[in-house]
Structure 1
Amino acid sequence: MTLRGRTALVTGGGGPLGRAFALALAGAGARVVLTGRSERAPAEAAARVTERGGAARTAVCDVADPASVARLAAELVDEDVSLLVNNAGVAGPVRPLVDIEPDEWDEVFAVNVRGVYLMCRAFLPRMIAAGRGDIVNVASVSGKRPLLNRTPYTASKMALLGLTRTLAGEAGPHGVSVNSLSPGPVRGPRMDRNFRLTAELTGCSVQEAERDFASRAALGRLVEEDEVARALLAMLAMPGLCGADIDLSAGMIAPA
């Protein structure tokens, strides 16, 4: 598969998964635009892309802020963005629902759901006008199974699945495919943070928290960043895929 001649916009481009997406997309020939709330982290990821011979640029954007998204759309008016990867997200608090403050809840939904809505609202019209495009929303296996003490996150990811399926019905007739990619626990800083918080909450060790979590997957392990990036490329290589959710969780939703 080649993405040569296409421009891919990746939100949350400064994080580990955003960097993995950027490297994979650029490796397939796409020009990549990486966004983040600040320019430093996306710039580091863009540098990795260019070091490998790819084409990348960065832009600052807070996906939860309509004005910031509008500025991004204006900044990229000369870019033919035909591929949007909504990867920006926050993990939110790790506590029982009754101990979560309303502003904490709102922050999770602002980024994880409102941000996807705003980005699609800004860039989908261009794809519809061109008669082609792909939108991939990064959801989570946590939107399809219980994850104790993580209600804002799981609720936001379940909302994202509904957004994806409905938008696919709206955009598909115009030649634009909308799908979601639901990773399971991806090895990296975010999961390390969650294991530490779980350990503090339950009194177990960080290692025990990780082992317990990984044991819920059929393969008994976490998913690697490059595996998720390869799954993204596989989705883009399936032109008939629309309104689908791809589970990449090492069997996390498999029955125990």
Structure 2
Amino acid sequence: MTRLTGRTAVVTGGGSGLGAAIAGALVAAGAEVVVVGREQAKLQAVVERLGARTRWLTCDVTDAASVDAVRAALDDTEVSILVNNAGIPGPVAALTDIEVHDWDEVFAVNVRGTYLLCKAFLPGMTARGAGDVINIASVSGKRPLAHRTPYTASKMAVIGLTSTLAFEVGPAGVNVNTLSPGPVSGPRMERNFRLEAERSGTSVEDSERAFVSRAALGRMVTEDEVAQAVIAMLGMPGLCGADIDLSGGMVA
């Protein structure tokens, strides 16, 4: 596929997991990709694997100066795709047991980071009259998920940010949408199942079975499925202000 040839994408949280998978799908579709994250070694490994049409920049998405440095480093580049994927899961605990600093950290990465990257790259898109922003949220922002209040609240905030921002920049030709995956198989969910098992006194296997039983397909989605959903959304020019569920039927 080469339909994104000539376009440059910035992918946050690009050093591993979903971010690396999304970066790979964008490269396969013809785009130039800048992977952004905190850990240089992981970013370098992704670039080495994906090849010449990728590059990396370190960035703390919670820090305005760090984000501005990324924007400045790309001043000579026409960034027309922004995928705000950077996020952290936060604690697994009852709200009354969650420390304030843990709550603030989740919102700093998941919400403030999305805001700062949009603030940095939207002016260029609106000036050119074209661009795509895809913010990665979660179905957990739209359904009960006990003992995960910071995460679910932050993801609902991303959905609200997206729907409002679409009306701010849509008239300038910029599409802003949310992709809300369900549980994605991989290390993050394994960690959550382990913590939930410890909290509830059940096995990790029982914790996972109880969770995926809520999905119509009875399974988690994969990183590659989420990455291909990003590509599909970029191929839908009339999509703006939307929130796309990719959950195997967990939200139906």
Q: TM-score, normalised by structure 2?
A: 0.98
1:1-256 alignment, distance < 5 Å = 2-50=3-51, 55-254=53-252
SS for the counterpart of 1:161 is helix
Amino acid at match of 1:105: W
| Offset at residue 232 of structure 1 (A) | 0.6
**CA distance in 2: counterparts of 1:33 and 1:62, whole angstroms:** 15
**CA distance in 1: counterparts of 2:16 and 2:209, whole angstroms:** 24
**CA distance in 2: counterparts of 1:11 and 1:123, whole angstroms:** 12
**CA distance in 1: counterparts of 2:155 and 2:232, whole angstroms:** 22
| Offset at residue 43 of structure 1 (A) | 1.4
Aligned residues: 251
**CA distance in 1: counterparts of 2:48 and 2:192, whole angstroms:** 29
**CA distance in 2: counterparts of 1:32 and 1:230, whole angstroms:** 15
**CA distance in 1: counterparts of 2:179 and 2:47, whole angstroms:** 22
Gaps of 5+ in 2: none
**CA distance in 2: counterparts of 1:176 and 1:47, whole angstroms:** 31
**CA distance in 2: counterparts of 1:30 and 1:170, whole angstroms:** 26
**CA distance in 1: counterparts of 2:249 and 2:217, whole angstroms:** 6
Amino acid at match of 2:229: A
CA deviations 1:205-238 (Å, max 9, x no partner) are 1111111101010110000111001111110110
**CA distance in 2: counterparts of 1:122 and 1:203, whole angstroms:** 45
SS for the counterpart of 1:240 is coil
Amino acid at match of 2:156: M
Amino acid at match of 1:48: R
**CA distance in 1: counterparts of 2:16 and 2:50, whole angstroms:** 14
Amino acid at match of 2:25: A
Runs of 4+ in 1 over 6 A off after TM superposition: none
Identity of matched residues, %: 65
Q: TM-score, normalised by structure 1?
A: 0.97
